[in-house]
Amino acid sequence: MSLNATNPFENIIKVKGPNRSDYEAYSSKCFFSYPPNGTRFQTGYLGIGPSIVSGRFHLRYPKNRSINISKITLSLKGGESFSYSKLDSVQTVNNNFFESNIVLWSSADLRFTFKLDDDLPPSFIYNNIANNVSTCGVIYMFEAIIYNNTGVHKVIRCICPITRWSLPNLVKQPELLTRPKYNNRRWNNLTNFGGGNGSEIENIIYHAKLENKTFNMGSTLNLLVSLILPPTFTSSIKEVRLGIKEYQILQEAGYNIHLSKYKVANNVHKGKEFIKKLIIDEKDGKIKEIRYLLDLELEIPKYDIMPDFDNTRELNHANLEHQLKVRIKFGRFKSLILKGEILIKKSLSEKKLDEAIKNGMIYNKT
């Protein structure tokens, strides 16, 4: 049996679909479109509810160039992919972890639906690639193969973006910020330029704790930092920098390669914003210790940040970490650095979550 696709161009109904740049293999006569009234292939909330990708595959051959089609297959494939330069060649490594196949056959506008596995990771591409690595990420792609009586007539490939969601974190995971070892070495090495004793940093008592290390994209991070300085510490706080660094990591042959680390959020607080208190010794009236209370705040971006992988199937090559960093500057050469791991999630707003629950789009977690 064959399909004679003879739809004239003048009868094409305008449809919304992916951009030309989303196609790896393209033809103006064969293309994909989103579901009616849709702006993307995916519907549902992958990660917290059932999710599918659906749409149409269109054939638009003019009457004078009709073809006989014996079969059309469509696949949705997902996997990790990274390419890197080695000597004079480009090496590509793939880890395909998802594939679903169907045979399309009904009309010149071929509807399709694929159900997504609940533990699929979202699609992403590392955006700051360093060293000799050119691309790295998780990609989902449609592949339509059109067969005629003699074999494969045409292959069309198009990227299918997949988004993953998380429920709001109801269980708090506290995180204590700690001072990295290199901070001690750097302080000791630079203190000769700024004066003072290299052991000063060891005498600083600090406490910085996040009540919950998990944050939603677009939310506000609040952090209280308390410091107790010895009376011999003559420098005052000049400024405090609070920022988030995103580490995009490639795992290969048992090693972690930090492809990129960059600031996705940063805020500067000046010294006059902090509460300072001198503790006086009642016996001799001298300063016993100096106390600071730092109330810090940081807006987490809504878009220019990648959410951490949450309850997904294990990836072989791609990994992601987010780190909160506090730099407390006492002068030109002296900074106390505190770090802690945080998790960034993509969650629904309270209003959208309520609507999704009412519409049965969220799994029952009870």
The secondary structure of the chain, three-state, reads: CCEECCCCHHHCCCCCCCCHHHEEECECCEEEECCCCCCCCEEECCCCCCEEEEEEEEECCCHHHCCEECEEEEEEEEEEEEEEEECCEEEEEEEEEEEEEEEECCCCEEEEEEECCCCCCCCEECCCCCCCEEEEEEEEEEEEEEEECCEEEEEEEEECCCCCCECCCCCCCCEECECCHHHHHHHHHHHHHHCCCCCHHHHCEEEEEECCCEEECCCEEEEEEEEEECCCCCCCCCEEEEEEEEEEEEEECCEEEEEEEEEEEEEEEEHHHCEEEEEECCCCCCEEEEEEEEEEEEECCCCCCCCCCCCCCCCCCEEEEEEEEEEEECCCCCEEEEEEEEEEECECCHHHHHHHHHCCCCCCCC
On whether both 138 and 264 belong to a single domain, the answer is no
On whether both 85 and 181 belong to a single domain, the answer is no
> What is the CA 324 to chain-centroid distance, rounded?
15
The answer to whether 317 and 174 are in contact (CB under 8 A) is no
pLDDT recorded at residue 128: 53
In a domain, 319, yes or no: yes
Q: Please, what is the Cα angle at 144 between 142 and 150, to 5 degrees?
A: 160
Burial class (CB in 10 A: 0-12, 13-18, 19+), 255: exposed
On whether both 279 and 317 belong to a single domain, the answer is yes
On whether both 210 and 138 belong to a single domain, the answer is no
Burial class (CB in 10 A: 0-12, 13-18, 19+), 339: middle
CATH number at residue 336: 2.60.40.640
On whether both 284 and 247 belong to a single domain, the answer is yes
In a domain, 99, yes or no: yes
pLDDT recorded at residue 247: 86
On whether both 7 and 153 belong to a single domain, the answer is yes
Per-residue pLDDT of the chain in tens (366 residues, 90 and over written 9): 444 444 333 334 578 999 999 999 999 889 999 999 999 999 999 999 999 999 999 988 877 777 788 889 999 999 998 776 665 667 777 889 999 999 987 566 789 999 999 999 999 887 555 555 556 789 999 999 999 888 898 999 999 999 999 988 777 889 999 998 877 665 655 444 444 555 567 788 999 999 999 999 999 999 999 999 988 887 888 899 999 998 888 777 665 665 666 678 888 888 667 888 888 877 888 888 899 999 999 999 988 888 988 789 988 888 889 999 999 998 766 889 999 999 999 998 888 999 999 999 999 765
On whether both 204 and 337 belong to a single domain, the answer is yes
Give the total number of structural domains in the chain: 2
On whether both 136 and 252 belong to a single domain, the answer is no
pLDDT recorded at residue 70: 86
On whether both 268 and 211 belong to a single domain, the answer is yes
On whether both 203 and 287 belong to a single domain, the answer is yes
In a domain, 128, yes or no: yes
Give the range of the structural domain holding residue 67, as residue numbers without chain letter.
3-159
CATH number at residue 117: 2.60.40
* Boundary-marking domain end, from 135, 159, 183: 159
* Boundary-marking domain end, from 112, 127, 159: 159
In a domain, 217, yes or no: yes
In a domain, 354, yes or no: no
On whether both 219 and 135 belong to a single domain, the answer is no
In a domain, 359, yes or no: no
On whether both 317 and 233 belong to a single domain, the answer is yes
In a domain, 357, yes or no: no
In a domain, 295, yes or no: yes
